Structures are given as structure tokens and as C-alpha cells.
Amino acid sequence: MMGDQAEKLRTEALHKGLKPPSCRRPAAAGCRVIAVASGKGGVGKTSLVLNLGLSLIHMGYRVVVIDADLGMANIDVMLNTMPAYSLADVVSGEKTLCDIMIRGPLDLKIVPGSSGLFDLANIDHAKRQLLLDQLNGLEAEGDFILVDTAAGISRNVISFIGAADDFILVTTPEPTALTDAYGMLKVLSGRGLKKKSHVVVNSTQTFHQGQRTYSGLERVVRQYLPAMEVNYLGEVRYDQAVSRAVHNFIPFVLSKPRSAASVAVKRIACRLAASGEPEKQDEGGITGFISRLRKLS
Ligand SMILES: Nc1ncnc2c1ncn2[C@@H]1O[C@H](COP(=O)(O)OP(=O)(O)OP(=O)(O)O)[C@@H](O)[C@H]1O
Ligand SMILES: [Mg+2]
């Protein structure tokens, strides 16, 4: 689909499709940095981040999405936008974060990731400093900053999760995805980086498969990782609206607001917003995120 057609459909969806949300932004809210990650790849992180971001905007929040997959960035691909610049240009000192930030549907702000792999730990001190200083500006841009990470437990990913206020672990019910999800919690708990994790079970096939999957994971975590607290945010059913949305470059909460996936993601957004105090850290918001990222990367 051509970009302008997609844009037209997005605008129509904006005016017709979205009904008033059932839960709205509470009066007081600070900036919350939320990392979204998974042990196994391809479990639906990017789809969730995009649609969760739009659902939060619909509830009245301002949202920034950082495409922190520093090797295979693809939020822009899902929206059929071709950002001229990326985080790599910020790292090289040629652009500021404001220069590279693009606007998605509903005024979702997107920081495009890098298309060539770079490792936060391996860029030189001055460049890393530059990048982290630039991230400071995001405090003013969003109530929620959603960080879409690469799959797995690379050093970059662990640093982003460790630095964030909250962490959403995405898994599917498949044993391989679940095993990798547990492996990620084990690393985070073992290094003392996180004490709490929200969990979303994606692509469920049957009713309550998400709850059963989560209960199994929770049991193992309680037994073997007693220092880790898990919190179930909900399940998203396998829904063709999701893959159609990727093909059409229109997020499913806009193109199919009444689909099973949209209803589920909106529910997850409500639960996330209501989940209250993030894990106690020395400092919250983007300032805390940056200072922890400085130490971890
Ligand atoms: N609930 C769902 N129902 C149907 N298809 C889904 C669902 N969630 C994700 N998908 C499909 O799975 C594919 C992978 O999703 P996505 O790119 O969001 O995963 P990812 O975890 O971000 O992948 P990566 O690890 O490569 O970054 C997409 O093409 C999407 O269409
Ligand atoms: Mg992704």
C-alpha cells in the first residue's frame, strides 16, 4: 500500500474507529520508562509496543517509542515510514534526538532505531555520553516512554531493561518462547537488575491459554527465582488483524479497533497505567533511566 493511502486510512480510523476509552489518564502522572523485551525473537514485541503506545495515547497520555533494536530496527517498517536519520546519527554527533524523531499516527513520537548494529558498550565514551545526554530531552515529550528492544539477552537489551522503570516480558505459549522468557528473568534476577516483571502472553490459540501459560511461568519463578515478582498484564489472542495490520502498515488498534487483539491491547494499556508504582529505584523517569544506562552499558 502506498504511504498516502495508508495515511488516509489512518486518519479515517482516527475519526470513525476509535470509541471513547473505558479508562482514562489519572490526574497526576510522571514520566515512566518501560522496556519491552522477550527471550525469543518474533513473539510480538514491536506490534505490542506500537499498539500499546496508541492505546495509551487514546487514554490521554503522551507517548514516545524508542526503537532500541540497534541492529534490526523495524517500527518504521511497520508504519511504512522511511526516517531519514536514526539513533546512529545521534551517536555520530551529526543529529540531535529532536532531528531524528518522527511522528506516527495519533502524534505518537518515534525515535527510529539504527539499521546497522552498534553496541552501546562498544561505542566510545564521548559518543555514548552524547547519546545519553540527548535522551534527557525526552522527559518533556512523553508520560510513557516505551523502549522496544531486540530479542534475547544481549548486553544492550539487559542494559535497557535494567535502566527502565518497568519491564514488560512478552512471550507466547510455546515451550521454546517460555523457556527463553524464564531464562531472561533468571539473568535479570541473578544480576540483581530487576525485582519485578510484567508479563504479556501473545498469540494465544484458546480461551484462557494466556492465564494458564502465565500461571505455569509464575509457579517456576516462585520456586526458583524467589526474588523476582511477576505481574500478569494479560493475553493477546492470535488474530489475523495483527498480521494484516503489518501488511497494510496501519496499526490494528486503528484499522480494526474492535478486533480481539485491539480489545486485548487496550485492556493491557489500562492495566499498565493502573499498575501504580514501578519498582522502587533511586530515581525514576528519564533521568534515572539515563543514569542507570550510564552505569550498565
Ligand atoms: N497476536 C498476534 N496474532 C497474529 N499474529 C501476530 C500476533 N502478534 C504478532 N504477530 C505476528 O508476528 C510477527 C512478529 O511480530 P513482531 O515483529 O511484533 O515481533 P517481535 O517480537 O518484535 O520480533 P523481533 O524479535 O524480530 O523484533 C508479525 O509479523 C506479526 O504479524
Ligand atoms: Mg521487534
In a domain, 157, yes or no: yes
Pairing of strands 109-111, 144-149: unpaired
**Angle at which helices 175-190 and 209-224 pack, to 10 degrees?**
40
Of 43-52, 125-134, 135-144, the one with minimum mean pLDDT is: 125-134
Smallest CA separation from ligand 1 atom 26, residue: 42
The CATH number covering residue 154 comes to 3.40.50.300
Closest ligand 1 atom to Cα of 41? 25
Answer whether residue 9 is part of any domain: no
Residue 191's alpha-carbon distances to 184, 195, 217, 296, in angstroms, are 11, 10, 20, 11
pLDDT at 15: 42
Q: Which ligand is nearest to the CA of 38?
A: 1
Mean of the per-residue pLDDT values of the chain: 86
Task: Decide if 11 is inside a domain.
Answer: no
Ligand nearest to the CA of 52: 1
Q: Which residue has the higher pLDDT, 47 or 10?
A: 47
Task: Give residue 164's domain range.
Answer: 30-296
Find the length of the chain: 297
Q: Contact at 8 Å (CB) between 172 and 137?
A: no
CA of 14 to the centre of ligand 2 (A): 24
Is 23 among the domain residues? no
* Alpha carbon of 99 to ligand 2 centroid (Å): 23
Higher pLDDT, 91 or 29: 91
- Tell whether the model's pLDDT for residue 22 goes beyond 60: no
Ligand in nearest proximity to the CA of 41: 1
| Cα-to-centroid distance, 217 and ligand 2 (Å) | 22
3-state SS class at 65? strand
CA distance 131 to 93: 8
pLDDT at 18: 44
Q: Name, in order, each residue with C-beta under 8 angstroms of 138's C-beta and a sequence gap of 6 or more.
A: 31, 64, 66, 97, 111, 145, 286
Please count the structural domains in the chain.
Answer: 1
Cell of 6: 495508508
Ordered DSSP codes for 14-30: IIIIPPPPSS---S---
Return the higher-pLDDT residue of 30 and 89: 89
177 alpha carbon – ligand 2 mean position (Å): 15
Kindly indicate the confidence band of residue 110, based on its pLDDT and cuts at 50, 70 and 90: very high
Pocket lining for ligand 1, CB < 6 angstroms? 38, 41-47, 69, 151, 202-203, 236, 238-239, 242-243, 246, 261
The amino acid sitting at 229 is E
DSSP character for 226?
T
Give me the pLDDT at residue 8, please: 54
Contact at 8 Å (CB) between 260 and 135?
Answer: no
* Whole-number pLDDT of residue 277: 63
The reply to whether 75 falls in a domain is yes
Residue 32's Cα: distance from chain center in Å? 12
d(CA 266, CA 257): 9
Domain assignment present for 5: no
Q: Is the pLDDT of residue 56 over 80?
A: yes
Residue nearest to atom 8 of ligand 1 (CA): 44
Name the grid cell of 57: 495515547
Give domain status of residue 7, yes or no: no
Residue 114: phi and psi, rounded to 5, are -100, 145
At 196-253, the pLDDT tens digits run: 999 999 999 998 999 999 999 999 999 999 999 999 999 999 999 999 999 999 999 9
266-273 mean pLDDT: 96
Distance in angstroms (rounded) separating the CA atoms of residues 22 and 48: 19
Read off the pLDDT of each residue in 143-167 and give the average, rounded to a whole number: 91
Q: What is the pLDDT of residue 129?
A: 78
Q: Any idea what DSSP says for residue 114? A: -
Judged by average pLDDT, the poorest of 16-30, 81-95, 241-255 is: 16-30
- Write out the residues surrounding ion ligand 2, Cβ under 5 A: 45-46
Check whether 60 has a pLDDT greater than 80: yes
Its pTM stands at 0.89
Q: How far is the CA of 192 from the centre of ligand 1 (A)?
A: 29
Residue nearest to atom 24 of ligand 1 (CA): 42
What is the rounded radius of gyration, in angstroms, for the C-alpha atoms of the chain?
A: 18
Please state the rounded mean pLDDT for residues 247-261: 95
Per-residue pLDDT averaged across 145-151, rounded? 93
With cut-offs at 50, 70 and 90, classify the pLDDT of residue 287. Answer: confident
Q: Lay out the sheet containing 102-103: strands in order across.
A: 102-103, 109-111, 63-68, 144-149, 32-37, 166-171, 196-204, 229-237
**Residue among 46, 149, 201, 237 to mutate when testing ligand 1 (max atoms within 8 A of CB):** 46
Examine residue 277 and state whether it is found in any structural domain, yes or no.
Answer: yes
Integer Cα distance of 175 and 113 in angstroms: 30
Give the orientation angle of helix 45-58 with respect to helix 260-274, to 10 degrees. Answer: 70
With bands split at pLDDT 50, 70 and 90, how would you rate the model's confidence at 17?
A: very low
264 pLDDT more than 50: yes
Pull the grid cell for residue 211: 492465564
Residue owning grid cell 506490534: 47
Alpha carbon of 45 to ligand 2 centroid (Å):
5
**For the CA of 74, the nearest ligand:** 2
Q: Is the pLDDT of residue 184 over 90?
A: yes
If one compares 94 and 19, the residue with the highest pLDDT of the two is 94
Nearest C-alpha to atom 29 of ligand 1 is from which residue? 243
d(Cα 179, Cα 257) in Å, to the nearest integer?
32
Mean per-residue pLDDT, 256-275: 96
